Amino acid sequence: MKKVLLVILKFFRLIGSLGVVLGIFVLLFIGGPWYLYNDPIIPIWLKTAAFAFLGGLLLVLITVALEQKSSKPVNVEQDLEKAQEGILLQNSESIPGKIISANLGLVQGHTIYAIWIGKDLSSVIRLILGGELLEYTDMMGKARKLATARMLTEAKKLGADAVVNVRFMTTSVIGSAAELLAYGTAVKLK
């Protein structure tokens, strides 16, 4: 039932996205030049394009909100603790006092994390006044833990005892969203 709901929401989000894109295209590239050289009376096709844009935007916002409401909340701390049970993490190539018996290959976990626009605005004020950007610190901490938990889950599937040479990489995706990648080498120990 939940999968069907998610498919329906994705379908409506796609329809909304198409409405936004077509509305912007018609408004900017057809409606703008037409309005400059013709009557100030707005024709029905230009009004339709404006409503397609606004309606599409509203549809996308509603479907994203419903999708977030229907998905289970992520408890990053609990996920990391559960994933880390029985697996050692090491950022060096070896584990002191242990012998690596088999290299199981690269494991990785990633997430793209963003903060709510209200927190983003709070960070802008802090940026002006100075000080630590607490909202972004919290966001990156949660993203790091989530990416690590996903990497450890992948290592467990391979039957690993440890993940060595653990590294983190981050990139900015859009606005205040950041991608965080955790990767390392899954190994078996003697």
Which of 70, 88, 116 lies at the terminal end of a domain, its last residue? 70
- Write down the H helix ranges in the chain: 2-25, 32-37, 44-70, 76-84, 117-129, 134-157
- How far apart (Å, rounded) are the C-alpha atoms in residues 68 and 147? 19
Span 6-20, pLDDT tens digits: 788 888 888 888 888
* Burial of residue 128 (number of CB atoms within 10 Å: 0-12, 13-18, 19+): exposed
Which letter, b or e, does each residue of 155-185 get, where b requires 16 or more Cβ atoms within 10 Å of its Cβ?
bbeeebbbbbebebebeeeeebebbbbbbbb
- How far apart (Å, rounded) are the C-alpha atoms in residues 63 and 125? 30
Q: Is the dihedral of CA 13, 16, 20, 25 positive or negative?
A: positive
Q: Which domain holds residue 6?
A: 2-70
Looking at residue 66, what is its pLDDT?
Answer: 80
Stretch 166-188: mean pLDDT, rounded?
91
Domain co-membership, 150 together with 135: yes
Span 152-171, pLDDT tens digits: 999 999 999 999 999 999 99
pLDDT at 59 over 70: yes
Global pTM value: 0.66
pLDDT at 62 over 80: yes
Minimum mean pLDDT range among 7-21, 44-58, 98-112, 119-133: 119-133
Going from the C-alpha of 107 to that of each of 12, 57, 92, the distances in angstroms are: 35, 38, 15
Domain co-membership, 57 together with 94: no
Query: pLDDT confidence of 71, banded at 50, 70, 90?
Result: low
pLDDT at 84 over 80: no
Domain co-membership, 102 together with 167: yes
Domain co-membership, 115 together with 55: no
Give the mean pLDDT of the chain. Answer: 85
Which residue bears the tokens 């057809």?
Answer: 30
CATH of the domain at 180: 3.30.110.70
φ, ψ at 46 (rounded to 5°): -75, -35
- How far apart (Å, rounded) are the C-alpha atoms in residues 12 and 53? 14
CB of 163 closer than 8 Å to CB of 128: no
